Structures are given as C-alpha cells and as structure tokens.
Amino acid sequence: MAMTSQTSCSSMSNHTKERVTMAKVTLENFYSNLISQHEEREMRQQKLEKVMDQEGLGDEEKGLRRSEHARKETEFLRLKRTRLGLEDFESLKVIGRGAFGEVRLVQKKDTGHVYAMKILRKADMLEKEQVGHIRAERDILVEADSLWVVKMFYSFQDKMNLYLIMEFLPGGDMMTLLMKKDTLTEEATQFYIAETVLAIDSIHQMSFIHRDIKPDNLLLDSRGHVKLSDFGLCTGLKKAHRTEFYRNLNHSLPSDFTFQNMNSKRKAETWKRNRRQLYSYSMPDICTPNIFVLSFKSLGSVRFLCFLKSLFSPRLERPAAIPIEIKSIDDTSNFDEFPDSDILQPSVAPVSNHTEADLKSKDWVFINYTYKRFEGLTARGGIPSYMKTGKR
C-alpha cells in the first residue's frame, strides 16, 4: 500500500503538480485576504476615532459619526461582492502607452467620476515573465495610502487583460513639464527633488523598491505636487514578487511530495539545490538584506544637503513651485497625444506566442488580482471627509 502511494506521488504529472500548487496559492490568498480585510477595517475605525478626538466632538455627534461609518462599512461589504468590469467604464482617450499596454482616461458610468485606467495584456505578462512585477505593482497600490503615491481604487481582469483603475492626475508627468519649461529655477529644482526624495522614502517604508525612477514616472496632481506612478518594475519582500517564484511553480511542491521515493543521497542533493530559495527573502545575488537600511541612510543624508536642507524643516508644506492650469476634470492638455488602439477589442489577438488556451491554463497565476478600495465604493466614489489625509 505504501509502495503504491509512493509510486503515484513520484509519477505525478505536471498538470497534477500545477493543480496542487494552484490549490496552495488559492488557500494562502483566501486567508491572507481575510486577515488584511479585518486589519483594514480596524484601521479605518481607529482613524475615525482619532479624527473625532482631534475635532473635540461631543458624545452625540460621535455616535452619529460612528453610525454613519458602520453604514458605510456594511455598504462596502455589499458592493465588494458586485462584479466590476470593463462595461462599467467609458473610454475617453488614450493618455499613455508602454511596452505591455496603455493608459486610458475613463469615466465610471454610474458615478461620472474620471479615472486613469492602466491596461496590461496577460499574454505579454506571461511571455516576458512579468507576473511577479505586476503582482508587486498591484500589492503596493493596495497597501499605499499616501500623498506620495498615485491612489488605486479598483483592479480587475478579464480573459485577455488586467486593469488598474487609478486616480487621474491632470498635471501630467515631470518629463512633459521639463520639455515645456526647458530650464527650471533653482527654487523649483529644490522643490521637486525634495518631493521626489519623500516619495521614494514613503515606498521604502512599506518595504518596496520602485527600481524605475525617472521623470516619466513622476506625475503631478492638480495642485502641482509630485506622486510616484508606474510600479511595473517594482519589487518587495514577498516570494510572489519574484520572477523565479512563477518560473519554478511546477517544482514548488510540498516537501512530502518532493522527498517521497528518494534515497538519502538524492534528498541531500535536492536540499542543496533548493536551500538558497528556502532561505532567501528577496533577490539573491542582486540585493542584500541590508538594502532597505542602506537606502534609508542614503535618503536620510539627502535631507541634510545644504541645497535641500531648508525644505525639510519641519515638514514640506508649501504651495507647488509651478502651478498647474486645469480647465476641467478631464483636461488632458498636459499629456502627449496618442492614436487610439484596439487593445480593448476581444476579437484582436494578443501580440505574443500564447494562444487563448495557453492563457486559460495559466490564468490562475493572476488569482487575487481583483481589488476594491473603501473610498471607491462608499459615498459613490467620493472620499469621506473624516478619511481624508492632511495637507502636505
């Protein structure tokens, strides 16, 4: 009986191995989501209590605020169960294009709110081994609740594409500003360098590394302040953010399956081959465990440079160096012109070697990509006043 069990495990097909890994990832994601949802709800409650204490509200007013907050939490749970898709948005214009997809200005049909929709082709993500990067991008946008990072409200997927629905920043990017102005004043240069340093520091504090800082990825909001965007090359400390994790999924079986029907010599060889993977947190041979400590020190030292020192005392709270002129909520005058494309047409085949059958068989690597932010589903897309963060 034992021999039969060992034989069946050793002769397990790649399909069965993939199903085992898929079940493992699905269960991990399910319980991880439960924990994070509970923590987020607790944090929102604590934030509400803190704001009410700061405003010095009486018991009656606090009770009304708590009741309103509880109603919104209930509404949030109900709306989270509704399916969000491409049909809920109207495409207005292409405002950006990259190697793996494009960014469109869209309007949500039920609320009229305007967003930036980032569209990524699944086939290209698989072919170019970008699954770990897009997972890291989605995760940091979920975790980030900062003035320095573009806010994501929703993420979802269909058979062909991944979609990120983010706030639309009408100021354009730093590259466009530099091309318009040609030369910045010393004061403006100080301002933008200082805000960029604070933005990078904010994502390092969340244990993520951007790895693609350039003027094109520094966006400007309607007031002219800097926000980091495009985390397509970002990475974090989770295994799911590493390319090797998805490259070796078929071999990442539980140890009971891996070591059955092996003699002692083969077990030792297998352990030696996999030990670096078992004991590495992030990127062996590229980044050391001290990367975040070193980056913190280097960013900290930048604050004390004579060129920037005055801007960091005590906090960077001042008007933007260059005001942004916005004529309407869908003003795209600060973006380049791009021709329309057929990326949203389901009949168009993706530019890759992956067929639709290949996509379907590997689609499970995008499990848990869907996300809905509390502020996006309550108050019909508006942010409750007591949930807003302070000024810069």
**Helices 14-55 and 59-80: angle between axes, nearest 10 degrees:** 160
Q: CA-CA distance, 288 to 283, in Å (whole number)? A: 8
Pick the catalytic residue from 212, 330, 336, 358. 212
Question: Is 132 within 8 Å of 240 (Cβ atoms)?
Answer: yes
The pairing of beta strand 101-108 with beta strand 114-121: antiparallel
- Measured in whole angstroms, the distance separating CA 329 from the mean position of its chain's CA atoms is 24
Closest CA to 20 of 275, 282, 255: 255
Neighbours of 35 (CB within 10 A): 9
Q: CA-CA distance, 230 to 232, in Å (whole number)? A: 5
Q: What are phi and psi of 166, to 5 degrees?
A: -120, 165
Question: Is 105 within 8 Å of 202 (Cβ atoms)?
Answer: no
Q: What angle do CA 95, 99, 103 make, to 5 degrees?
A: 20
| Helix, strand, or coil (residue 166) | strand
118 annotated to bind ligand: yes
| Helix, strand, or coil (residue 154) | strand
Neighbours of 57 (CB within 10 A): 14
Amino acid making up residue 94 = V
Q: CA-CA distance, 160 to 143, in Å (whole number)? A: 25
Amino acid making up residue 4 = T
| Helix, strand, or coil (residue 266) | helix
Pure H helices in the chain: 2-10, 14-55, 59-80, 122-127, 131-143, 174-181, 186-204, 243-247, 255-259, 264-279, 291-302, 356-362, 374-377
Question: Is 235 within 8 Å of 292 (Cβ atoms)?
Answer: no
- Look up 124 and say whether it is catalytic: no
Q: CA-CA distance, 174 to 310, in Å (whole number)? A: 23
Q: Which residues are catalytic, by number?
A: 212
Known binding positions for ATP? 118
Residues annotated within the binding site are 118
